Amino acid sequence: MQLARAEGAQFTAAPPHDLRIVLRLVVDDLMQADRERIDLTVPRTQVLSEVEPDAIAIVARNLIENALRHGSDGPVQVTVTDDGWLHVKNDCAAVPVETLSGLSARFVRGDHSGQGSGLGLAIVQKIAERTACTLKFTSPLAGQARGFHAAIQFGHKVTQSRRSPQ
């Protein structure tokens, strides 16, 4: 269902909304099952996005569930930055470069031994394409020999406009 929606839906929202709220809802829902494993970090100020909240939720859920399912038993780091990037990092065996480039294809799983249909990252890729969002997968984690990092940019930081006194 998510893949069909990703291929046919409109994904822009007006007015822009706070990305942090959507991420907190997704993480709160996922933490009911994996409370000890998800570490969410968000900025103190709003991060606005014009991408529809449901699309952001689908992407976030797929990336976080993928990290929980295919990572070690360690924490999954979920971070939203001021400039609208969502980062999901987890510990796992490094994904070979030749596998990494094809992970977002339908029915592909990195290690072929895990659970799942191999559609999660394909859905993420399709939504990224339809919303013109930048999506990156890297492995291993920077400065390490292990790990996986998924990153997608959804929005931008809100700047407070100041009026000059009259």
Read off the pLDDT band of 4 (50, 70, 90).
Answer: very low
Q: Which CATH architecture has domain 2-157?
A: 2-Layer Sandwich (3.30)
* Cα 96 to the center of its chain, rounded Å: 21
Q: Considering only CA atoms, which of 23, 26, 12, 18 is closest in space to residue 47? A: 18
Angular region, 9: left φ>0, alpha ψ -120 to 50, beta rest: beta
User: Would you state the structure tokens that stand for residue 32, as one six-digit string?
Assistant: 């009911």
What is the Cα–Cα distance from 17 to 148, expressed in whole angstroms?
28
pLDDT digits (tens, 9 = 90+) for 136-149: 999 999 999 999 99
Confidence label for 157 from pLDDT (cuts 50, 70 and 90): low
